[in-house]
Chains A and B, each alone.
Chain A
């Protein structure tokens, strides 16, 4: 059974840093693109970062470029999101998701999410 479990969320002051983790199981982690998606309170879904199977390609939404870094450790079946210089508008539930290629690219499995609150 595919499982994705996020951790590391919490309350952080503006300007602070935090690292989110996502533990994957039930599939060959190193064979898939992975993604971070966030959802601000009462808002829609926004993709944050995507990383290729071997970590050689990383992409970010404009609003987090230069502040967030996505990485992965295929030996540990883990995905990470290092978040620096956090702002109030980064407050959201952060989901990790697997990206399946089946003609097109689809986020087919999602974790339950971890909540980040940026506030003083």
Chain B
């Protein structure tokens, strides 16, 4: 199974700050990676797929980059509504499963 390691596990930043979250995989997955946003009490929502493609309706302040084993999710200017936990998911090795990273909780200072 592909192991997913996200860092940091939590980050606190001010409105307008740039926030960067990283995801590292145990195997080369090319660019087959997704990012999800989960707001408190809600279901996860697909933000980015293929490492850098924004899902329809996702604000342009979100961006993704990376390939191989190292990936990054960036929020260019943090907004209050971005309070959430963010998860990466490998999208390359399937079946059997599509594993998630451990999550990064983004808090607003």
Chain A interface (Cβ < 8 Å from any Cβ of B): 35, 37, 44-47, 50, 57, 59-61, 95, 99, 102-113
Which of B45, B50, B96, B101 gathers most chain A CB within 10 Å?
B96
Closest Cβ of chain B to A2, distance in Å, is 12
A44 contacts which chain B residues (CB < 8 A)? 85, 87, 100-103
* CB closest residue in chain B, given A45: B100
The majority secondary structure among interface residues of chain A is strand
**23 A-B pairs in the complex with CB atoms less than 8 angstroms apart:** A44-B100, A44-B101, A45-B38, A47-B97, A50-B94, A50-B96, A57-B95, A59-B95, A59-B97, A60-B96, A95-B44, A102-B49, A103-B50, A104-B31, A104-B32, A104-B91, A107-B36, A107-B98, A108-B49, A108-B55, A110-B43, A112-B42, A113-B43
**A54 CA to B89 CA in the complex, in Å?**
24
B101 contacts which chain A residues (CB < 8 A)? 44
